[in-house]
A and B are shown apart, each in its own frame.
Chain A
Amino acid sequence: KVYFYYGLVNYYQNHRRYVKSRDDNQLLGKTDAVSKDCQPFQKSVNGSDYTPCGAIANSKFNDSLTLVFNGSQTVPLLNTGIAWTTDKDVKFKNPNNASTYFQNNPPPPNWKYTAWDLDKNNSDNNGYKNEDFIVWMRTAAMPAFRKLYRRLNTNSSQTFQGGLPQGNYTLKVQYNYPVINFSGRKQFIISTTSWMGGKNPFLGWAYIVVGIVCMIAFVVFFILHKTWKL
């Protein structure tokens, strides 16, 4: 199984003001007036609520990344199955008559198109239920973070049945998302997963160091126990 991530560095998705700027009820498909938390992305100039509202939604990551194998073959990627199924099933629902609703209400100012245009090919992955959107809305804990972007479609072609074969890969980036203003960096990560998650040597080192400290303490205590008299 191969996963593709995009990473953002120096991006404070956990900023208090930013994190709060959303309305979970709206994302549940309720069409009531949205919460004031969404400010300043609550209402458009003409007074109707943004769909979806809030700073998080407004700043959704919108670069499109494609990977080309050996200069010719586009790596087949799946844009579903990347969000938690519980999120997709419970926390995000489209309102009734989604298409007209999204047409009648303005998208966030930074969006070029409405939420109903997020995935035109798959109505189950459209609107609030779009998985890219759901992944983005699950805000990151730290200013350097990675989010799941796509997973490899192993069924569509023979080449990628067993993962990514060896060869030259070209990453094509449709650059929509500016990060230069806050000295941010973007990353693209291709990774498989193990039972311990992604590659991170920290835990291993930490265990070794703490183990050594414990050994030293053991020796000291042992000697003290044998020799120290009150």
Chain B
Amino acid sequence: MGNCTAVPTLRRTPHISRTQSRRATVSSITNGAQVSVPRSEPYIVHHNVPSPVESPIWVAIKNRRRHKPHTNRIKTTRYNILTFIPKNLFEQFRRVANVYFAILIGLNWIPIVNALSKQVAFIPLTVILTITAIKDLVEDLKRWRSDAQINKQIAQVYDKKTKTFIPCKWQDLSVGNVVRVRTDETVPADILLLSSASTESTCYLDTAAIDGETNLKQKSIPSCFLNLDKTAEETSFELQCDPPNDDIYRFCGRLLFSTGSNACPCDNNNFLLRGCVLRITEYVDGLIVYAGNETKIIKSSRQTISKHALIERYINRDVLFSSLILTTICLLCAGLSIYWERSFGDKWTFVPFIVDDPFDNSVRDFFANTLRFVILFQVMVPIALYVSLDLVRVLQMYTIARDKHLKYEHPISCRTFTINEDLGQIGYVFTDKTGTLTQNKLVFKMMSVGGIYYSGRSELPEKNDPLIQHFLTTLAICNTSFIVHDHPEFMHRLDYQPKYEGDNADDLVLCQTASQFGVRMISRSAQTITVRYLDSSNSNKQDLDYDILCLLPFDSTRKRMSIIVRLNDQIFLYIKGAESSIWPHLSPLNDTHTKSTIEQHSLTFAEQGYRSLLVAYRQLTLREFESWFERYRFAANALDNREEAISDAATEIEVDLMLAGLTAVEDKLQDGVPRAIATLRCAGIKLWLLTGDKQATALSTAQAASLINIPQTLSSDSHSTSRNIAPAATAWDFDRSAQARLNQHTHMIYYSSQLIEIDQQLRNRESSASDDVRTEKTISRMREVIAAQASPVSLVVTGEDLSVILRYKPKEFIRAASECQSVLFCRVSATQKRELVSVAKSVFKHRILAIGDGANDVGMIRESHCGVAVYGREGSQAVAAGDFAVDRFECLRRLLLVHGAWCFTRTSELILYTFMHNCAYVFVIFFHQFFNGFSGAVSLHSFYLTLYSSLFTVLPQCAAALFDQHVPAERALHEPQLYQYTLHARCYRMWSYWINILDAIWQSSVIFFFAYLSYRNEFYIDVSAFGFSIAFSMIVTSLIHVLLQTSRVDISIISSIAFSFLVFLGFTLVFDETCVVCIPGESPYQVSYHTLRKARFWFTTALTIFTAMLPRFTIKCLYNTIRYPFAVNYE
């Protein structure tokens, strides 16, 4: 994803560079013809160019087919009236669970396999399918309605015959049309700007609907349309660009005019996305490039990220165990069934209850028996768990999203519904610094020009220092901000202060600062910038016009931006950027003393946590510029790898720079960050800080954020300036052991620099050893150092080292670094962040959470197990990519420690409960088989069998999965160590499954054998009555079992249990009263009425339920007393 949202990539003054540009285009075309031969067919839009092809019919048809759907009608619906049922069913049957159910139902219809009542067996699947279908239908209707509404909106389209704009519905627009969009109207499709009503040939856009950013964005007309002799509507040209894609931050195209052969580049800056709203500008005209479903915004809204929680791995493992048990008992029963039937020998014809010949075809019988038992015991493999899990997770997310404590400006937004449990298992947090830990609310603090500090205008020297002028001019114009004139009529006034808008916070604050220092950008167009210079007494002004020759935008790999301007006859290159990115390009002519002073200042700034940018300039000769510009033009016209080519070209001109100075901007920590980090550390979560800032800044932020705790004397070995950060860890309301840990001093290890100093031998060999070997040695050395330390260790790694590490020994490094309590990465790029996460993912046992706010964190957020985005000032690309979006870093504390831990325990309870509950059911039926000749008969009638695990018992377990709290929220926050409980999955281990299976076997034996022994001599207990009393104990046992499993008893669980019981009782009573011959051969008419009247039934049931619960109750009591799982045992 590109990271220049609305950065103007190319600006050029027509009147100066017209001649040059002619030449440039010609050369680029001749070169381009060789280079950019389209590999895949490029996407071409013709405007006023007749389609040139006189092609054979089949080609025409092929083309027609390909180009047919280019109207602007959008269709987000998935179905239409005809396709709804087949398509929806098809989609639903892509779930393994549904297929499993369907296969078993199908098998049940085979007469010799038949185990359940054929009709009743349909009920659960039908209900699931119907509910899902209704849900899909409702959603689709909503989409259909909104589509219709959108498609019927009116736009103004250019009519070639009348040469006017006529109204037209959105859905009737097609690619190649020219549309006019007026102020406050929405852009109907992805369009390329052709002309604008504004004099500056630009327009302002509100893109809130697309990326949620509220600041206005400026877009401009492609430069080649600026000096046309006729209107753009009448021009003939061909646009070559990327095929429709989902990257809303990138557009690359090339305009080929039919008159003349000059190609003209166009990019994202000339491109308006569907859904933007035009502001301020009266109207713009644009050519539709992508329409309807091919627009970028619709394409990008379709992508879904699929992530899976760690807990699903446990489920799959236990499902495997369950299927093994299932297979075993099915084969066992099937075999015993054959054996039993044959045990009567030849006399079977005289045995009244042997109906079929047991010697007929034993292979078929064995096979049929096995399948019948599979149907009967199907719930042993709780496929329905996946369905209930989905449901529960959505509801869990809903409760998280409604948590008021997580709401500051926005409520937390949850986009991924499959990883709730992972929040309880986060072992590592990878965090960005700027905007995530800090507020990204920038305040100008200081500047250092020519080796002298200035923090206010009054400190400036009286007479005009050219260095300061250059410095301030760079701040004023070397940016991509634009100006919104509230009162253009006052522009001539001395104190006119325009409003700056833009998407780069640094730029804005520096531009504002320059303005306060008397260098004020007062107007700006694509070609010219007017800067007003005020003298120190604010009495005189001097307006200078800079012609923009070229603007080389900021990107995160170059980490600098520059602008080339012409003032009268002088050409200047102004550049600002990260220190490391400019320092190597400085000219040797710079004064070494100034250089060292500035270096010193830079350290001081960094130590105080300020963000600093280096400012430099270069004067160019016309020849230098022209020869370079030609190369640049070629790069800018490339269709493939354009960014890279431009970046390479930019590097060629950004050399021999003269140092001007340094700015310092402060970015304060967000509220609650130190506390949140201390909490996470206590919880046993390791924090890795990945920042683009330099080491000193990162360290001071880390210290302030209580990520590390360096004793003052040790840390500032080389820096003597006083720090304004308290070194002692602040006292939190954690308990003592946690606090003691936090108070421990951190031992800092600096990767490579210090390590190699320690290892003298290695240092000597440094020159000869390859990177590969050296990295390996350093890592092994690092491991030793880390292992030798008793106190918590923090590792510091710089981006340069990291790139070497990632190239050679990423896994070894991560493994060694995972021992550290925290790791700081400085000067890392977006790609490195992503790679680091992706390597860490393959190494770490625990889950990784990545949190960030900027475009450079998107890769990391997507790559991690759980991506959290912070609503920030750097746009909403991160928010679009994140699984969760929060307002502040602080939210993590509650999100992980409370909601994460809750979700994990709740879901694991739900899973274990489902396994155990279904297993108990299967074993009750299994025990039956010993008393009915392994025939597959059950005393429970089909309704009980099919509804037992759904209608009758599903509610309390869902209530528990939503409302249970293994510890109260306050306690979870005050005793962060409790997070270890879920982090190490103490409530769901390998043996948890087997314990639950054992309990299930106990419960089922009690339920079955108590009934068997107690009703032995009762003549009135027939099959149905026995079945009813068994069903009664089973259901009540499972309902009460929920209470034993949950840690907290609350009204929702009690009431859901009561409700489920009443549903069961009501169902039974109504069914037994009304149904005389509903299920063939299983009529339970009046059975429950008869049974409920018997005292023996009540005595037996009471004892059964009590005894079934007894072991779990006792063991849980003992366990909680002796080894209290929530006690403080910090590891």
- B1096 contact set on A, CB distance < 8 A: 196-197, 203
- A213 contact set on B, CB distance < 8 A: 1110
Task: Find residues 1112-1131 in chain B having any chain A CB closer than 8 Å to their own CB.
Answer: 1114, 1117-1118, 1121-1122, 1124, 1127
Of residues B354, B1014, B1019, B1106, which shows the largest number of chain A Cβ atoms within 10 Å of its Cβ?
B1019
**A43 near B: Cβ within 8 Å?**
no
The chain B residue sitting closest to A89, CB to CB, is: B1086
Top 7 A-B pairs, shortest CB-CB distance: A59-B352, A16-B937, A141-B1026, A16-B935, A181-B350, A18-B353, A24-B1077
CA distance A148 to B1026 in the complex (A): 17
**B1012 near A: Cβ within 8 Å?**
yes
CA distance A220 to B862 in the complex (A): 54
**B810 near A: Cβ within 8 Å?**
no
- B790 contact set on A, CB distance < 8 A: none
- B351 contact set on A, CB distance < 8 A: 181-182
Task: Find residues 114-147 in chain A having any chain B CB closer than 8 Å to their own CB.
Answer: 138-147
CA distance A202 to B1089 in the complex (A): 24
**A152 near B: Cβ within 8 Å?**
no
Taking the nearest CB of chain B, how far is it from the CB of A45, in angstroms? 17
CA distance A22 to B1082 in the complex (A): 10
Offer 22 A-B interface pairs, CB within 8 angstroms, sorted by A.
A11-B352, A14-B937, A18-B352, A18-B355, A23-B1080, A24-B1080, A37-B1080, A55-B355, A90-B1076, A141-B1025, A141-B1026, A142-B931, A142-B1016, A147-B1019, A182-B347, A182-B351, A196-B1096, A197-B1020, A198-B1017, A207-B1103, A224-B1118, A228-B1121
Contact (A198, B352) CB under 8 Å given A203-B1099, A210-B1110, A221-B1117: no
Task: Assess whether B1076 is in contact with A28, with CB atoms less than 8 Å apart.
Answer: yes
Taking the nearest CB of chain A, how far is it from the CB of B975, in angstroms? 14
- B631-674 interface bits toward A, Cβ cutoff 8 Å, 1 = contact, 0 = none: 00000000000000000000000000000000000000000000
Task: Assess whether A141 is in contact with B1015, with CB atoms less than 8 Å apart.
Answer: yes
**A20 near B: Cβ within 8 Å?**
yes
CA distance A11 to B931 in the complex (A): 10
Contact (A14, B1095) CB under 8 Å given A141-B1026, A142-B1012, A203-B1100: no
- B120-163 interface bits toward A, Cβ cutoff 8 Å, 1 = contact, 0 = none: 00000000000000000000000000000000000000000000
The residue from B1024, B1085, B1107 contacting A90, defined by CB atoms under 8 A apart = B1085
- B1027 contact set on A, CB distance < 8 A: 141
- A15 contact set on B, CB distance < 8 A: 353-355, 932-933, 935, 937
- A90 contact set on B, CB distance < 8 A: 1076, 1085-1086
The chain B residue sitting closest to A12, CB to CB, is: B353
CA distance A13 to B1100 in the complex (A): 23
Task: Assess whether A197 is in contact with B1025, with CB atoms less than 8 Å apart.
Answer: no
CA distance A40 to B444 in the complex (A): 96
Task: Find residues 1071-1087 in chain B having any chain A CB closer than 8 Å to their own CB.
Answer: 1076-1077, 1080-1081, 1083, 1085-1086
Task: Assess whether A197 is in contact with B1094, with CB atoms less than 8 Å apart.
Answer: yes
Taking the nearest CB of chain B, how far is it from the CB of A219, in angstroms? 12
Task: Find residues 163-197 in chain A having any chain B CB closer than 8 Å to their own CB.
Answer: 178, 181-182, 195-197
Q: Which residues of A contact B (CB under 8 A)?
A: 5, 11-25, 28, 35, 37, 39-40, 55, 58-59, 84, 86-87, 90-91, 138-148, 178, 181-182, 195-200, 202-203, 206-207, 210, 213-214, 217, 220-221, 224-225, 228, 230
Task: Assess whether A203 is in contact with B1117, with CB atoms less than 8 Å apart.
Answer: no
The residue from B354, B931, B1023, B1114 contacting A19, defined by CB atoms under 8 A apart = B1023
- A37 contact set on B, CB distance < 8 A: 1080-1081
- A146 contact set on B, CB distance < 8 A: 1017, 1019
Taking the nearest CB of chain B, how far is it from the CB of A37, in angstroms? 6
CA distance A226 to B1015 in the complex (A): 42
- B390 contact set on A, CB distance < 8 A: none
The residue from B353, B1018, B1107, B1118 contacting A13, defined by CB atoms under 8 A apart = B353
Task: Assess whether A181 is in contact with B1017, with CB atoms less than 8 Å apart.
Answer: no
Task: Assess whether B1103 is in contact with A210, with CB atoms less than 8 Å apart.
Answer: yes
Task: Assess whether A141 is in contact with B1121, with CB atoms less than 8 Å apart.
Answer: no
CA distance A35 to B1127 in the complex (A): 65
The residue from A22, A196, A224 contacting B1099, defined by CB atoms under 8 A apart = A196
- A142 contact set on B, CB distance < 8 A: 931, 1012, 1015-1016, 1026
- B935 contact set on A, CB distance < 8 A: 12, 15-17
Task: Assess whether A91 is in contact with B932, with CB atoms less than 8 Å apart.
Answer: no
The chain B residue sitting closest to A35, CB to CB, is: B1080
Task: Assess whether A202 is in contact with B1122, with CB atoms less than 8 Å apart.
Answer: no
Task: Assess whether A86 is in contact with B932, with CB atoms less than 8 Å apart.
Answer: no
- B918-958 interface bits toward A, Cβ cutoff 8 Å, 1 = contact, 0 = none: 00000000000001110111010000000000000000000
- A59 contact set on B, CB distance < 8 A: 352-353
- A181 contact set on B, CB distance < 8 A: 344, 347, 350-351
CA distance A39 to B1080 in the complex (A): 14
**B766 near A: Cβ within 8 Å?**
no
CA distance A139 to B939 in the complex (A): 10
Taking the nearest CB of chain B, how far is it from the CB of A92, in angstroms? 10
- A141 contact set on B, CB distance < 8 A: 939, 1015, 1021-1023, 1025-1027
Contact (A19, B1081) CB under 8 Å given A14-B932, A145-B1019: yes
Task: Assess whether A196 is in contact with B939, with CB atoms less than 8 Å apart.
Answer: no
CA distance A86 to B1022 in the complex (A): 15
CA distance A20 to B1110 in the complex (A): 37
Of residues B344, B352, B1118, which shows the largest number of chain A Cβ atoms within 10 Å of its Cβ?
B352
- B1026 contact set on A, CB distance < 8 A: 141-142
CA distance A140 to B1019 in the complex (A): 8
- B465 contact set on A, CB distance < 8 A: none
CA distance A24 to B117 in the complex (A): 14
CA distance A220 to B1114 in the complex (A): 10
**B1010 near A: Cβ within 8 Å?**
yes
- B41 contact set on A, CB distance < 8 A: none
Task: Assess whether A16 is in contact with B936, with CB atoms less than 8 Å apart.
Answer: yes
Task: Assess whether B931 is in contact with A14, with CB atoms less than 8 Å apart.
Answer: yes
Taking the nearest CB of chain A, how far is it from the CB of B1097, in angstroms? 9
Task: Assess whether B355 is in contact with A22, with CB atoms less than 8 Å apart.
Answer: no
The chain A residue sitting closest to B117, CB to CB, is: A20
Task: Assess whether A25 is in contact with B1077, with CB atoms less than 8 Å apart.
Answer: yes
CA distance A122 to B1077 in the complex (A): 27
- A139 contact set on B, CB distance < 8 A: 1022-1023
Task: Assess whether B937 is in contact with A19, with CB atoms less than 8 Å apart.
Answer: yes
Further contacts, 16 of them, CB under 8 A, given A5-B1019, A86-B1085, A202-B1013:
A12-B933, A14-B939, A17-B356, A19-B1081, A24-B1081, A35-B1080, A37-B1080, A87-B1086, A90-B1076, A141-B1025, A142-B1012, A142-B1015, A195-B1095, A198-B1018, A214-B1110, A230-B1124
Contact (A203, B355) CB under 8 Å given A24-B1076, A147-B1019, A224-B1122: no
CA distance A58 to B1015 in the complex (A): 26
CA distance A188 to B937 in the complex (A): 28
The chain B residue sitting closest to A182, CB to CB, is: B351
**B723 near A: Cβ within 8 Å?**
no
CA distance A29 to B454 in the complex (A): 108
**B402 near A: Cβ within 8 Å?**
no
The chain A residue sitting closest to B115, CB to CB, is: A16
CA distance A194 to B782 in the complex (A): 84
CA distance A211 to B847 in the complex (A): 48
Taking the nearest CB of chain B, how far is it from the CB of A177, in angstroms? 9
- A86 contact set on B, CB distance < 8 A: 1085-1086, 1089-1090
Task: Assess whether B1016 is in contact with A200, with CB atoms less than 8 Å apart.
Answer: yes
Of residues B1010, B1017, B1114, which shows the largest number of chain A Cβ atoms within 10 Å of its Cβ?
B1017
Taking the nearest CB of chain B, how far is it from the CB of A187, in angstroms? 10
Taking the nearest CB of chain B, how far is it from the CB of A53, in angstroms? 12
Task: Assess whether A217 is in contact with B353, with CB atoms less than 8 Å apart.
Answer: no
Of residues A23, A140, A197, which shows the largest number of chain B Cβ atoms within 10 Å of its Cβ?
A197
CA distance A199 to B1077 in the complex (A): 34
CA distance A224 to B1103 in the complex (A): 26
Task: Assess whether B939 is in contact with A91, with CB atoms less than 8 Å apart.
Answer: no
- B931 contact set on A, CB distance < 8 A: 14, 142-143
Taking the nearest CB of chain B, how far is it from the CB of A182, in angstroms? 5
